Amino acid sequence: MKDQVSTAPHSTELLVCIKCRRGAEMAEGDRRPGQALFDALGALTLPEGLRVTPVDCLQNCDHGCTVALRGGARWTYVFANVDEAADPAMILDGATRYHATADGLIPWRERPEHFKRNCVARIPPLEA
């Protein structure tokens, strides 16, 4: 019997811009805030079917750190101004709620406050 939680159309990707330095000057070898955010998220326990993917620049450089959620026949959402120290648990909570939807639309009252105020863009699913 198939495990419905892991059904492919419902798998979710949390994209994290690992190049983000949040507008700061940084030495070449310094760990960037975006990389720190990715590392922090990777250390958390993720629900089945949700994976965290590093991306070399989501090009929202004036409002970093930035993450995006996508997967299956869902709207893709991009969120800005994420704090790599304070926000990983909040991002995971939001990603888990997104993962539970069929269309990517988390009911407004269930959205993390950060998602309500820091949505940069959303992209509709491809037509079936």
- End-to-end alpha-carbon separation of the chain, Å? 26
Smallest gap from Cβ 42 to a copy of itself, in A, equals 18
Smallest gap from Cβ 1 to a copy of itself, in A, equals 28
Residue 85 amino acid letter: A
Q: Which is nearer to a copy of itself, 32 or 70 (CB)?
A: 70
In the complex, the residues that contact a copy of itself under the rule CB under 8 A are 15, 55, 57-60, 66, 68, 70, 76-78, 119-124
Smallest gap from Cβ 95 to a copy of itself, in A, equals 15
Provide the Cα torsion 91, 124, 66, 54; round to 10°. Answer: 80
Q: Which is nearer to a copy of itself, 30 or 42 (CB)?
A: 42
CA distances from residue 51 to 15, 54, 75, 76 in whole angstroms, order as listed: 9, 10, 17, 15
